[in-house]
Structure 1
Amino acid sequence: MAVTSSSTTASEGIQGTKSSATIVLTNSPHNQFFVWREFLWGALAGGFGEGMMHPIDTVKTRIQSQAILAQSQNQKTILQMVRAVWGADGLRGFYRGVAPGVTGSLATGATYFGVIESTKKWIEETHPNLGGHWAHFIAGALGDTLGSFIYVPCEVIKQRMQVQGTKKYWSSVVMKEGASDASLSMYGYYSGMFQAGCSIWKDQGPKGLYAGYWSTLARDVPFAGLMVTCYEALKEVTEYGRQKWFPNSRFHVNSSFEGLVLGGIAGGVSAYLTTPLDVIKTRLQVQGTIVRYNGWMDAFRRIWLIEGAKGFFRGSIPRVIWYVPASALTFMAVEFLRDQFNETKTPNTDTVTSLILDKSKPPLQQN
């Protein structure tokens, strides 16, 4: 049997028994799990990753939304779009919409990592048959689903502000590139995050703030599940390789560095595989009151008929470029914060973690 108690209490309980006992003592500072810390570290890491990589996300959003704004098949490449944003708005244009982006990432990161850790532990304890990669996939999907209630409105606001750029760009540059009056009147210029939210609510109600909600879940649930599963699988492969090739070595990879490398790989692979879902989501959220796509299936059908398979992978390169460092920084930050702050300061008293009774040995002698 296993008990958790102080060594003094355990020894008092053992006295008078007719069986010998083996007491395993430990004083590990990592034996406690605090859910709130996982939520906090996840929020900080998510906001950090979004803030660092927002300019690349702006380029990706502009590329994916060209079909709506420019009404042209002669669409810009990555470098052309970078030059266009810089020429029109300068550095400021790349950081348009960063406030709602960071806000949404704070909420998503908190629920993502907090729910992942607690759900993984619950699944592995109550449903052992769903352990391993299935537990990781379910936990990641559930965490992202819960975060979507805050993340989606922030994403809608962020992407609309990204395609607008500065007021000068929205009123003149888009028109010069061939946008119609209808396209330009999709929504007025947003001066900030809160004004944008109020404006969308006034014009379209909750439906506007949650535009593309189901397409966001269709993208993020498999993405979150794939990324966590891939990350955990890579960690297992790394540990297996270390034990196989360096069995007697004390070499240990720093967890922050491991999170940086493996998190980047997991994020890049998952991002590319879910790019078609991201294209559909972006188009639905950017279109505003001038409806071009009547739902997820209509968007899928029209993109396929008009643009072909290539249309579904527009922005795939900047999306991968964004997610590799963003995921790397996020997982690195989480692992670093766990290492630095998840250690519990306890007195120098031993703790009983297991008590093994062995009736084959002579009984304890009492003094």
Structure 2
Amino acid sequence: MAASPSSPSPSLSPSPSAAFAGGVSAWSPSAQSPSPNLTNFFVWREFVWGAFAGAFGEGMMHPVDTLKTRLQSQAIITGAKAQKNIFQMIRTIWVSDGLKGFYRGISPGVTGSLATGATYFGVIESTKKWLENSNPNLSGHWSHFIAGGIGDTLGSFIYVPCEVMKQRMQVQGTRKSWASTATKGNISQIPGTPMYQYYNGMFHASCSILRDHGLKGLYAGYWSTLARDVPFAGLMVTFYEAMKELTEYGKRKYLPESNLHASNSFEGLLLGGLAGGFSAYLTTPLDVIKTRLQVQGSTTSYNGWLDAITKTWATEGLNGLFKGSVPRIIWYIPASALTFMAVEFLRDHFNEKIHPDARELTSLSVDSRSEVEEAT
């Protein structure tokens, strides 16, 4: 797999995933292996690149995420009847809140994406290699899926509270529009009484939720978030790696004499977008349930994950479970594309520049590979 860091093989045989980030091969025998500190250095850089890439993707696509959240939470905020479509919702947000309304909640959104991106890419690269070495039966796509799920699970401890704050700020919009919504009354709140007070920012939101609902409030919908994100994370990295392998196979079979070469950044942009889009659509029902559990206030509409699924299915059918699928896909295609592109770009342009031993490791690995090929 191109551009995936792994520990050097202890023997002369190549490992299934024999490449450090940025294309540094891992063929060297144990006698010439790099120091553990250097190996850890390569792995830890994946956490840094993932954090930057995750924040970059979230920041670029936050307005689309706001649109998706508003569409999915209509059943709680305004009732299940006469729900707006995507174009009506865009107009509503623009008229009531202006451009600022699309960027409400961006601070907790970027903070959560920093944590998720770091753990997602960092843990994927370390866990994937460990799984392939410890249990060969889990190599390939299974190791990708499991590593992606583990990475996202670890990030959830920071990501979920940020997601709760972000989504509540997104549905609030500006102070004026939230006050107007509260006075109308709906299925989940007493007329004239807001579901929760207006949040001035991320710090105010966290303090208010802790004061009113405790730690449980910050982790509202935690299990539904994991139920959505673990399969999503696993599917996305599996699709991405599978499409990379398919691309390489296609080039070898149909263009064996061609000098055509696409950069890792371009492949990350294209394949990452496709992987994110496929995964986003398949997990939309889980996202709908998570969103509704997180935006409801003190007077709850749903008593847990199963109750939310049952009521949504009974009142809105299959369309209700796939509410917001279009903006979700619209969000994840470019967000995933930008994230994978950023990770591949950072790997290609910085991995060999940050540490002086990297060049020595590169030449050492290439020389060892040549010796192995001559011996065979």
Question: With structure 1 as the length reference, what TM-score do the two structures score?
Answer: 0.86
Find the counterpart in structure 1 of residue 339 from structure 2.
330
Structure 2, gaps ≥5 residues long:
1-9, 13-28
Q: CA deviation at 1:129?
A: 1.2
Aligned to 2:290: 281
CA contact (8 A) 1:70 1:174 kept: no
Q: Is the counterpart of residue 108 in structure 1 residue 103 in structure 2? A: no
- Whether the 8 Å CA contact 1:187–1:289 is kept in 2: the answer is yes
1:276-310: per-residue Cα shift (whole Å, max 9, x none)? 00000000000021111000001111111111111
Instruction: Measure how far apart 1:232 and its partner are.
Output: 0.3
Aligned equivalent of 1:12: none
| Residue correspondence of structure 1 range 260-339 to structure 2 within 5 A | 260-339=269-348
Residue 69 (1) aligns with residue 84 (2): no
Look up the match of 2:99: 91
Give the secondary-structure state (helix, strand or coil) at the position aligned to 2:190.
Answer: helix
Deviations 1:122-181 (A, max 9, x none): 111121111000000000000000000000000000000000001001001554586775
Residue 63 of structure 2 is matched in structure 1 by 55
- For 1:280 and 1:144, the matched residues in 2 are separated by 18
Q: In 1, distance between residues paired with 2:96 and 2:300? A: 27
Closer, same or farther: CA 320–345 of 1 in aligned 2, 3 Å: same
Q: Which residue of 1 aligns with 2:49?
A: 41
Residue 122 of structure 1 corresponds to 130
| Residue matched to 2:149 | 141
C-alpha displacement of 1:246: 1.4
Q: CA deviation at 1:245?
A: 1.1
Distance 2:139 2:190 in 1: 52
Question: What is the Cα deviation at residue 79 of structure 1?
Answer: 0.6
Q: Check conservation: 1:2, 1:353, Cα contact below 8 A.
A: no
Question: Is residue 222 from structure 1 mapped to residue 231 from structure 2 by the alignment?
Answer: yes
| Contact kept in structure 2, 1:64 and 1:314, CA below 8 Å | yes
Supply the distance in 1 between the matched residues of 2:99 and 2:48 (Cα, whole angstroms).
31
* Residue aligning to 1:364: none
For 2:243, the aligned partner's letter is: L
* Higher helix content, 1 or 2: 2
Alignment of 1:156-167 (within 5 A): 156-167=164-175
- Residue aligned with 2:368, SS: strand
What's 1:206 paired with? 215
8 A contact 2:188–2:299 mirrored in 1? no
Aligned to 1:15: none
1:303 touches 1:311 (CA, 8 Å); kept in 2? yes
Give the whole-Å Cα distance in 2 for the aligned partners of 1:178 and 1:309.
23
Q: State the alpha-carbon separation in 2 of the partners of residues 2 and 79 from structure 1.
A: 59
1:345 Cα offset (Å): 3.9
SS in 1 for 2:262: coil
Choose between structure 1 and 2: higher strand proportion.
Answer: 1
Code of the residue aligned with 1:65 in structure 2: it is: S
SS in 2 for 1:205: helix
Distance 1:322 1:234 in 2: 20
Structure 1 residue aligned with 2:255: 246
Residue among 86, 92, 105 paired with 1:78: 86
CA shift at 1:250, angstroms? 2.9
Output the CA distance in 1 between the equivalents of 2:360 and 2:316: 67
Whether the 8 Å CA contact 1:44–1:109 is kept in 2: the answer is yes
Measured in 2, the distance between the counterparts of 1:149 and 1:323 equals 22
Gap change, CA 1:179 and 1:82, over 3 Å in 2: farther
Q: Which has the higher contact order (CA 8 A, sep 6+)?
A: 1
Quote the Cα distance in structure 1 between the aligned partners of 2:188 and 2:136. Answer: 58
Distance 1:176 1:202 in 2: 26
Q: Quick one: which of 240, 251, 258 aligns to 2:267?
A: 258
Q: What do the CA deviations read for 1:329-359 (whole angstroms, capped 9, x no partner)? A: 0000000000011125446796363777x99
Higher Cα Rg, which structure: 1
State the aligned residue count. Answer: 335
CA shift in 2, pair 1:190/1:244, >3 Å: same
Q: Which runs of 5+ in 1 are unaligned?
A: 4-22, 360-367
Percent identical among aligned pairs is 67
Amino acid at match of 1:258: E
**Coordinate RMSD, CA, aligned:** 2.5
Bigger mean CA offset, 183-192 vs 219-228: 183-192
